[in-house]
């Protein structure tokens, strides 16, 4: 811990041990090594073009950075916590390897813009991975929806059976929600695809540098417009934390259903042995752990977002060290989202749907009551009145412990003269889905249209 | 409280008082009355086109709804909590006014899609107001930046004086952050500009309705693609809560600076009597209350976001009554954001900047130390070495209680032979800003370019 | 809006309209009127004892405050938003009523300690109400547990049937969690029962006042120890927000079960018509709205806590206007908790348990598998081995679509020779609960002991 | 990854790789190894007393566990992620070492109560460490308060100079807030010091075990009262997350002041080189990084609390796998709090206060305006009137750019005839603190009393 710090010119005492421990970040920001080296190479090339580095110095830096990269990837790199972060670690090792040329690399650059460019490159890459898994998951849902297009089940509101729907309509509902997540990630990725490098510590640099060159060679669509904002901004992190947090909520809703549908009582699905686990004490248990774990992950995604918003609240411009607290929630969120999406895809690989049980719950309840009410409307009864009539019939059935399907016409007529023989076909749950001819409804043609649309969006 | 509920057909007992109190929402959702009436009119027109309403019934509904609108806006409407929400209140009053035709209005519609359309219309309108105030505030910042283009002040990192910057660069940094907020609100407004009406309770409706007609006549760009998702979705609320939450963080950062700069110790600005208040006990106090209040509002904006994410987490499809908890955070956030933006604009109306004090703090510290280090680089010293040299000079000055500006060349040479007579101009803070020639830096031309760009974006 | 502010001595311009709107709090803090008047009376009495008020002035103030109280409670009080808050409104009206004596009341007092005392009084009273409802709810659960002591149902882990338990054990589990909430509210109420009045704006007051007198006459256990902390502290609010937030989580878990158990698929309970509602479109629906609403309220309780923590983060001493944002989350949380507890009590008034269905799910699954494993342990098989044996039997049954109960001894012996005739009684779910003789387990004696203990705690 | 799981009896397929990755927790819960081994030893002893283990088996288990402990502490233990968690890792290794006796250890125990006991032991130990550091920090503040008892500085409200206070009063304000944190940690530690071991998976165990024995030998004050609550409860984690979160807010407020007071503009303190760092580009910088980092940590503490509350919301009884998400926030919070407290203590070791500058800002402003107003009250002017008079004087001074102290009696009389010659001593800031004779105020005797009280509380 005795090394002279790179910023140590004016300092006499050494940092306390606790300062070192609170300051250091290399144990987590080391994962930015590729981005850091990439950025440094392009920066060095710009310095060469500006005449600050000779051609030889530039070549020496590039080859030194290649060595560092190799050392890190082979596990031979000695990360030193007294160098605090990945940036200082790489620069120090570079200088060790190539001498004074290494000490020139930080010209016209600050850790503030260096950290920003590394993080933005990282987010861009990881967001692309998230998008790719999201697409894969959406397509899987669409494929299952296609296979299950004839499966009819109960649609729920308030967790009470409401109306018959196609299983595919239900799965596509989730797919559409996920397509909004996809849109959100894409939007944020594009919004922040601007190069921060070259703005220095906060004010710009004392050189006529070429930020457009840096941007182009690092794949950015342009440069950030204001040096102080560039250093003070963490929107690019907040946005991905939020997009992930909302995605997490969507996944938690799907997982809630997987858990629910796996119960003995619902018995709608069977998850494979690959994604379920047992109990250390109860030998019969087969638990939907994966679904539960992913549902639970929603908590940390929201927690990470709250962390960052709380950190940033009330900070004056420009950089404040509090902002070092941005990276751990970012890394944790990215890892979590990638893992959860993999888990979702895996669960839907071998999921088995129990159509018989789905059909059973549909018939046991009054799932077509609305159809009967609409039938009365067609016979000229105002909707509010027909609603009351059918409500009374339901009340009667419950009291008499009878099923809707058992009532004959005569009995129905006691509630309204508008009932006629054609009422009986309106009691059929399967047929009910086909009567939902409204756009986006649960009829077969609507479902097939949706599958086509969502595949187009995702590809 | 004895009224028969519109959904009461099958119910015998009356709801308990506590059920009424927990269920009712009319005390806050009554603000959706305009959207509700607008949606009902278009729905009625569609029902007429479908042959469900006669032309006379349609006309009677429209005129009945106009009466209701007038009653509400004149304060004559009797909101009844036993009718629970604004939707039931309006429908009940309509039926009272026009009879059975009113009871037909709810055909092919559910409260689920009705609530969704009202809320989406509301959000669209309010988002437009937010965008409009945001633009006004950004333009105000740009105007002040233009006026103050020659004012030089200390730029800060870690709240320590770092390098000289233009005040305009600082103000524009905030403007650019706000321009991202603007983009976010616009993006979300467009993303969710889809008509939910016509999907029924969850499955679609038993009619060949015309959702495109509804969408067009309500100004939507299209229809929502899946009935179940439409009912289960609250992304359109979460997104505005998030955009507001991040805007709130940005405002809190500006306000932190206003509070800081208003202190006796900084003394950089003077806020007008219009936006400051006094103390009930200390007669001398002039407090930057408006800035503090807006900074504090950041808490509730984040709290509202957390509320909704927590509510939605783990809810199975489709509608669950928990989701009624979406509206209060939404309304509170919208009101808060509009009020805060008005407050910001007001504070920047008569703000007075104390240029003398700004210049004073610049000179009293070592704000141009980096310029000296860069000067040595130009003389051939590697950056890391020059950084150490200047660091030692600063240490020396602090120990000797001397100012950088007082050192003569001879003294400087004790630290490095590379110093020459031309070093002195590099000590000047004002000149330092002009040396920052990098794009987006604090030079005059960069600042003027930014003002032009941001005005173009905002208009 | 043209009134001279009470703090306006040094001000020239009037506050802008937006400043008024952001500053004013009387629309929500008016609910503190009783506490404010109570505190002012005691303060006036102290001022009289200190010789600052004459006896006549004191009497005049007390009678004036009584008039104000009457005006407010009868609805005749004219709340003026230009007086900002309840404190200024009352003081202004008092002075209007009794003249100069009213202007002396604020001697040796600041709004800072005045607000603090009002809020602490309010919290103490409301916490007592919360505790009282909590006790009532716990007792109701204990009563039902007693009635249902012989009802056996499936205990769940991972929402999968795990082992047979008594329904009473399940209900008592919730009761014990609530007893921790009760403890938390009591602890915080006592921790903060200290009188803040008399510390002035932040430094103490220029008088030898008698804070002990104030404390005693306002029912506090002592005085706050440090004037600056007194003004800067909001722990007493944070603590109640947290206690409520965790209570909200507990209630959400109970409500989740009520919703789940009300499903057609579980069918474990029937909630009364008093606490359920119907659908505006689906006539058959009977939804557990109250349970859903309370489950959803958990979101706002957590949101309110996050609000306050975010507001307070990073605020320097002592009072900052941001802290005005403390009251709305406080009031909202208190109202919410009281309403939710009333709702819980109501739901458990007429809840009906379906014992037949409970017994059915118990037998249909392998709920006593652990009992069989433990049976083998008693026969000398190591637990991990017996666990594997029973696991294999379960796998076999599932593949063969047979029920555990149908297997005969011969079949069982194919899996282990340790099986003997006495195994069969270990298959009985009801008996299983009685074998759980461990303290706190689900045996009858344990349950009855718990009922006794919790009744003692609550009374 | 091919090992047979301990719960694998009924499973055929192997878990997918993603299931393994989502399920495993050994990479973080391995830190519970000491608690796990401690709990297992006591459990084994109880099993021996119950006759389930022979004396030899018991001895073999204890010595096996000792070996495991040694292997872990020496770094020789091979943690296997396919064994998922620390509990399974230890049990598997134990069985490897000692054979079948190891397979008996899990008799009458479940992972559910095992995890709970490990976590409760961990929390108890770590809470004690937190309390110990808190006490140390409070005592340091008290010591400095004693040393600085004669230092007078500006007290602030709204970050505006309000009234003169002693620096010691300011430091003690923080100490008192921290003493509430201490109380909170102690309270929660005691509240949850109950032994969960022995309740089995959820229902109790099929043995007459001795939970009191377990409790006593693990240092608990008693046993948890209900098996299902024991397994479902995570209050003991939520409580420490909350206590830490509020402590974090308190620390953030102190750190905000350290950052503020370190600015060139305030210049109230000088932090040592041990706790400050420099800039990689700006050689003159000396940044209060430690204070900023600790201020920023407040974000993650609140984020961790939100995580857990979100995870637990709406979970039905008893254990759900989501609850595995409890440990990472717990560990992160504990580590963060311990580190932050160490950092605080370190910063206050060598902090230097700049008394001259503190005195300067006091005199430059109108810090004794309230004293003048009170002076007028003593002369018989009602407080509200005297407030207005002094407000006008301040307004006059500001307009004339004059200092309060320069006004002579004649000038003062223009504002009120009540002014007399004795007014001048009321202008003195230092004297003002002594006039604050109210209990808990900023007078010397009050400060000394507080120091005595807080030392008593802490010891």
- pLDDT digit string, tens, across residues B273-324: 999 988 877 888 889 999 999 999 999 999 999 999 999 999 999 999 999 9
Task: Give dist(CA B234, CA D191) in Å, integer.
Answer: 39
Distance of CA C139 to CAs A87, B59, D458, Å?
Answer: 62, 58, 39
Chains contacting chain C through 3 or more C-beta pairs under 8 A: A, B, D
The confidence score (pLDDT) of residue C2 equals: 38
DSSP per-residue string spanning C269-309: EE--GGG-B--SS-TT--B-HHHHHHHHHHHHHHHHHHHHH
pLDDT at B97 over 80: yes
What is the nearest CA distance from A50 to chain B, expressed in angstroms?
12
| A54 SS3 class | coil
Q: D164 pairs with which residues across the strands?
A: D154
Q: Give the number of beta-carbon pairs within 8 Å between C and D.
A: 401
Among the ranges given (A407-421, B226-240, C159-173), the one the predictor scored with the smallest mean pLDDT: A407-421
CA angle B341, B346, B347 (to 5 degrees): 100
Is position D174 annotated as part of the catalytic site?
no
pLDDT at D3 over 70: no
Q: B223 pairs with which residues across the strands?
A: B195
Q: Where are the alpha helices (DSSP H) in D82-224?
A: 86-98, 100-104, 111-147, 167-191, 211-217
Query: Do D348 and D137 touch, CB atoms closer than 8 A?
Result: yes
Residue A323 DSSP one-character state: G
Best mean pLDDT range from A278-292, D359-373, D433-447: D433-447
Cβ within 8 Å, pair B391-A435: no
The confidence score (pLDDT) of residue A320 equals: 96
| Torsional sign, CA D415, D417, D418, D419 | positive
Residue D166, H or E segment: strand D160-166
Nearest to C277 among B15, B305, B320 (CB): B15
pLDDT band at D4 (very low <50, low <70, confident <90, very high): low
The confidence score (pLDDT) of residue D2 equals: 38
Query: Do D210 and C419 touch, CB atoms closer than 8 A?
Result: no
From chain C, the residues in CB contact with B346 under 8 A are 16, 18-19
pLDDT at D205 over 70: yes
From chain C, the residues in CB contact with A310 under 8 A are 309-310, 313
Task: Give dist(CA B194, CA A179) in Å, integer.
Answer: 14
The confidence score (pLDDT) of residue B283 equals: 81
From chain A, the residues in CB contact with B240 under 8 A are none
Q: B154 pairs with which residues across the strands?
A: B164
Picking from C100, C317, C390, C427 by the largest number of D CB atoms within 10 A of its own CB, the best residue to mutate is C317
Ordered by start, the domain boundaries in chain C are 16-107, 112-359, 369-427
pLDDT at A327 over 70: yes
The confidence score (pLDDT) of residue D1 equals: 34
pLDDT band at C401 (very low <50, low <70, confident <90, very high): confident
From chain C, the residues in CB contact with A163 under 8 A are 282
The residues of A annotated as belonging to the active site are 158, 279
Question: Could you report the per-residue pLDDT of D256-272, keeping only the tens digit for each?
Answer: 999 999 999 999 999 99
pLDDT at D345 over 50: yes
Query: Do C172 and C450 touch, CB atoms closer than 8 A?
Result: yes
Average pLDDT value over all residues in chain C: 93
From chain C, the residues in CB contact with B201 under 8 A are 279, 281-282
Cβ within 8 Å, pair C300-B329: yes
SS (H, E, C) chain B: CCCCCCCCCCCCCCCCHHHHHHHCCHHHHHHHHHHHHHHHHHHHHHHHHCCCCCHHHHHHHHHHHHHHHHHHHCCCCCCCHHHCCHHHHHHHHHHHHHCHHHHHCCCCCCHHHHHHHHHHHHHHHHHHHHHHHHHHHHHHHHHHHHHCCCCEEEEEECCEEEEEEEHHHHHHHHHHHHHHHHHHHHHHHHHCCEECCCCCCCCCCCCCCCHHHHHHHCCCCEECCCHHHHHHCCHHHHHHHHHHHHHHHHHHHHHHHHHHHCCCCCCCEECCHHHCECCCCCCCCCECHHHHHHHHHHHHHHHHHHHHHHHHCCCCCCCCHHHHHHHHHHHHHHHHHHHHHHHHHHHCCCCEECHHHHHHHHHHCCCCHHHHHHHHHHCCCCHHHHHHHHHHHHHHHHHHCCCHHHCCHHHHHCCCCCCCHHHHHHHCHHHHHHHCCCCCCCCHHHHHHHHHHHHHHHC
From chain D, the residues in CB contact with A272 under 8 A are 13
- Reference A229, options B143, B141, B41, C422; nearest CA is B141
Picking from A8, A303, A316 by the largest number of D CB atoms within 10 A of its own CB, the best residue to mutate is A303
pLDDT at B3 over 80: no
Picking from D9, D106, D362, D390 by the largest number of C CB atoms within 10 A of its own CB, the best residue to mutate is D9
The confidence score (pLDDT) of residue B395 equals: 86
**Mean pLDDT, to the nearest integer, of B247-271?**
97
Among chain D residues, CA nearest to C440: D226
Q: Give the number of beta-carbon pairs within 8 Å between A and D.
A: 235
- Reference B3, options B58, B67, B71, B81; nearest CA is B81
pLDDT at A3 over 60: no
pLDDT at C6 over 80: no
What is the nearest CA distance from C81 to chain A, expressed in angstroms?
28
In terms of C-beta density within 10 A (0-12 exposed, 13-18 middle, 19 or more buried), how is residue A1 classed?
Answer: exposed
Query: Do D279 and D285 touch, CB atoms closer than 8 A?
Result: yes
Pick the CATH number of B16-107 from 2.60.40.10, 1.10.275.10, 3.60.21.10, 1.10.3720.10: 1.10.275.10
Average pLDDT value over all residues in chain D: 93
Among chain C residues, CA nearest to D91: C384
Is position B279 annotated as part of the catalytic site?
yes
- Quick one: what percent of chain B has pLDDT higher than 90? 77
What distance lies between CA A70 and its chain's CA centroid? 32
- Quick one: what percent of chain D has pLDDT higher than 70? 99
From chain D, the residues in CB contact with C207 under 8 A are 374, 437-438
Question: Could you report the per-residue pLDDT of C325-364, keeping only the tens digit for each?
Answer: 999 999 999 999 999 999 999 999 999 999 999 999 998 7
Query: Do B260 and B266 touch, CB atoms closer than 8 A?
Result: yes
Query: Do D246 and C235 touch, CB atoms closer than 8 A?
Result: yes
The residues of C annotated as belonging to the active site are 158, 279
pLDDT band at A12 (very low <50, low <70, confident <90, very high): confident
Nearest to B306 among D160, D162, D306 (CB): D306
- Reference A387, options B109, B42, B320; nearest CA is B109
Catalytic residue among D63, D272, D279, D392: D279
**Mean pLDDT, to the nearest integer, of D15-26?**
91
- Reference B349, options B139, B199, B195, B207; nearest CA is B139
- Reference A356, options A153, A164, A172, A160; nearest CA is A153
pTM summary value: 0.96
Among chain D residues, CA nearest to C291: D314
Nearest to C310 among A262, A280, A313 (CB): A313
From chain B, the residues in CB contact with C322 under 8 A are 292-293, 295-296, 299
The confidence score (pLDDT) of residue A445 equals: 96
Six-digit token string for A63? 């080859």
Residue C5 DSSP one-character state: P
Question: Could you report the per-residue pLDDT of D303-315, keeping only the tens digit for each?
Answer: 999 999 999 999 9
Task: Give dist(CA D54, CA D56) in Å, integer.
Answer: 5
Task: Give dist(CA B433, CA B437) in Å, integer.
Answer: 8
| D163 SS3 class | strand
Among the ranges given (A299-303, C354-358, D20-24), the one the predictor scored with the smallest mean pLDDT: D20-24
Among chain D residues, CA nearest to C175: D229
Start-to-end CA span in chain B (Å)? 52
Q: For D251-262, b where at least 16 C-beta lie within 10 A, e where not — what string? A: bbbbbbbbbbbb
Nearest to C441 among D227, D315, D390 (CB): D227
| Torsional sign, CA B53, B58, B64, B70 | positive
Picking from D158, D284, D412 by the largest number of B CB atoms within 10 A of its own CB, the best residue to mutate is D284
Q: Which residue has the higher pLDDT, B245 or A425?
A: B245
- Reference D312, options A254, C247, C342, B367; nearest CA is C247
Domains A16-107 and A369-427 share a fold: no
Strands C194-195, C222-223: parallel, antiparallel or unpaired by DSSP?
Answer: parallel
Task: Give dist(CA B283, CA B267) in Å, integer.
Answer: 20
**Mean pLDDT, to the nearest integer, of C276-287?**
85
Six-digit token string for B47? 């029902």
pLDDT at C10 over 80: no
Query: Do B172 and B142 touch, CB atoms closer than 8 A?
Result: yes
Cβ within 8 Å, pair B390-D283: yes
Contacts of D400 (CB under 8 A, 6+ apart): none
**Mean pLDDT, to the nearest integer, of A213-229?**
98
Query: Do A363 and A405 touch, CB atoms closer than 8 A?
Result: yes
Among chain C residues, CA nearest to A283: C391
From chain B, the residues in CB contact with C262 under 8 A are none
Task: Give dist(CA D302, CA C329) in Å, integer.
Answer: 17
Q: Give the number of beta-carbon pairs within 8 Å between A and C.
A: 134
Architecture of the D112-359 domain: Up-down Bundle (1.20)
Task: Give dist(CA C36, CA C117) in Å, integer.
Answer: 8
The confidence score (pLDDT) of residue B2 equals: 38
Whether complex ipTM tops 0.90: yes
Cβ within 8 Å, pair D339-A18: yes
Catalytic residue among D74, D158, D280, D438: D158
Cβ within 8 Å, pair B391-D361: no
Q: Which residue has the higher pLDDT, B107 or B190?
A: B190
Question: Could you report the per-residue pLDDT of C140-156, keeping only the tens digit for each?
Answer: 999 999 999 999 999 99
Residue D118 falls in which region: left (phi positive, over 0), alpha (psi -120 to 50) or beta = alpha
Task: Give dist(CA B7, CA D272) in Å, integer.
Answer: 71
User: What totals of helices (H) and strands (E) does chain D contain, helices first?
Assistant: 19, 6
In terms of C-beta density within 10 A (0-12 exposed, 13-18 middle, 19 or more buried), how is residue A351 classed?
Answer: middle
Among chain B residues, CA nearest to A215: B439
What distance lies between CA C51 and its chain's CA centroid? 44
Question: Could you report the per-residue pLDDT of C17-40, keeping only the tens digit for each?
Answer: 999 999 999 999 999 999 999 999
Nearest to A159 among C263, C280, C314 (CB): C263
Query: Do B216 and B193 touch, CB atoms closer than 8 A?
Result: no
Cβ within 8 Å, pair A160-C264: yes
From chain A, the residues in CB contact with B191 under 8 A are 180, 183, 187
Chains contacting chain A through 3 or more C-beta pairs under 8 A: B, C, D
Catalytic residue among B16, B63, B272, B279: B279
The confidence score (pLDDT) of residue A4 equals: 64
Pick the CATH number of C369-427 from 1.10.40.30, 1.10.1740.10, 1.10.3720.10, 3.30.70.870: 1.10.40.30
């Amino acid at each position: 811990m005795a090394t002279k710090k790179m910023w140590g010119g004016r300092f006499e005492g050494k940092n306390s041990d606790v300062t070192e421990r609170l300051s250091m970040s290399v144990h987590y920001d080391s994962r930015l090594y590729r981005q850091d080296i990439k950025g440094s190479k392009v920066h060095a090339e710009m310095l060469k073009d500006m005449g600050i580095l000779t051609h030889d110095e530039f070549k020496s830096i590039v080859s030194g950075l290649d060595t560092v990269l190799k050392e890190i990837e082979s596990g031979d790199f000695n990360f030193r916590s007294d160098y605090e972060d990945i940036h200082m670690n790489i620069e120090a090792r570079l200088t060790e390897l190539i001498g004074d040329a290494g000490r020139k690399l930080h010209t016209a650059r600050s850790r503030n813009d260096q950290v920003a460019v590394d993080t933005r490159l990282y987010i861009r890459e990881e967001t692309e991975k998230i998008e790719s898994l999201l697409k894969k998951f959406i397509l899987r849902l669409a494929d299952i929806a296609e296979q299950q297009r004839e499966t009819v089940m109960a649609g729920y509101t308030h967790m009470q059976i409401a109306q018959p729907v196609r299983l595919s309509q239900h799965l596509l509902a989730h797919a559409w929600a996920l397509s909004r997540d996809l849109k959100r990630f894409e939007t944020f990725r594009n919004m922040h695809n601007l190069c921060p490098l070259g703005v220095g510590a906060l004010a710009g640099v004392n050189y006529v540098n070429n930020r457009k060159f840096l941007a182009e060679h690092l794949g950015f669509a342009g440069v950030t417009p204001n040096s102080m904002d560039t250093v003070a901004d963490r929107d690019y992190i907040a946005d991905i934390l939020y997009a992930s947090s909302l995605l997490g909520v969507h996944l938690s809703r799907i997982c809630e259903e997987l858990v629910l549908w796996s119960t003995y009582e619902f018995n709608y699905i069977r998850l494979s042995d690959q994604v379920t686990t047992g109990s250390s004490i109860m030998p019969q248990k087969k638990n939907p752990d994966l679904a539960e774990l992913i549902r639970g992950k929603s908590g940390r995604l929201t927690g990470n977002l709250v962390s960052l918003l709380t950190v940033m609240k009330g900070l004056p411009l420009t950089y404040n060290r509090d902002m070092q607290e941005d990276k751990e929630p970012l890394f944790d969120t990215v890892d979590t989202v990638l893992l959860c999406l993999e888990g979702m895809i895996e669960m839907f690989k071998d999921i088995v749907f129990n159509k018989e049980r789905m059909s059973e719950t549909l018939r046991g309840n009054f799932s077509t009551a609305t159809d009967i009410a609409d039938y009365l409307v067609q016979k000229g009864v105002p909707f509010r009145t027909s609603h009351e009539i059918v409500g009374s019939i339901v009340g009667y059935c419950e009291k008499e412990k009878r099923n809707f399907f058992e009532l004959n016409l005569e009995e129905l007529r006691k509630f309204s003269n508008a009932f006629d023989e054609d009422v009986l076909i309106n009691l059929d749950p399967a047929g009910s889905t086909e009567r939902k001819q409204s756009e986006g409804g649960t009829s077969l043609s609507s479902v097939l249209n949706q599958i086509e649309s969502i595949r187009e969006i995702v590809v």
